[in-house]
Amino acid sequence: MLERLWASWRSDYVRSIDDSNEHAFTTGDGATLFEGILAAGLSDEEAGVVHRGELVSVILNAYPYGSGHVLVVPNRGVARLGDLTAEESRRLWDTVDRAVAVCEAEYECPGVNVGLNQGKAAGAGVPDHLHVHVLPRWLGDTNFMTAIAETRVLPESLDESGRRLRARWGQVPYR
């Protein structure tokens, strides 16, 4: 069983951490990383875009935990769920729902992780642009390589994941 060590004295330290580098993932023109990807003028294949919507898009994770790992992003760079308009929020969650359905249909996976880390303290790797991870999962898809060798073994390339997901996207309707 997990033990807990209460160390209330650490609260002063935690509150003192300087988070001034929160917006480290912006482009030269001030756009967020994901806004930059969407506006780069590249083809969807080159940019790793699976789906472009009016308010929300789906991008391949460049550093995936497993094959088919995508990020559902509002097109407008906002850091927090509360910064979304009501319509952006509805579209975000509709697109997450569709991304899950697409992953299940294409990869025939028995599970899917859906996760959102809001803010640097929560583990967000790109804290200035909210994004939702959608990751197909299989029993036994983790092994010693990650824990011991700090290496992920991915059975297909990002290009192949992109081709598969783009092709399937139009075949799975919104509910």
- Active-site annotation, residues: 131
- Backbone φ and ψ of 50, nearest 5°: -90, -40
Q: Which residues pair with 60 in a beta bridge?
A: 70
Q: Contact 113/68 with Cβ under 8 angstroms?
A: no
d(CA 32, CA 110): 34
d(CA 151, CA 112): 21
Q: Which residues pair with 56 in a beta bridge?
A: 74
* End-to-end Cα, the chain, rounded Å: 41
Q: Which amino acid is at 23?
A: H
d(CA 169, CA 70): 12
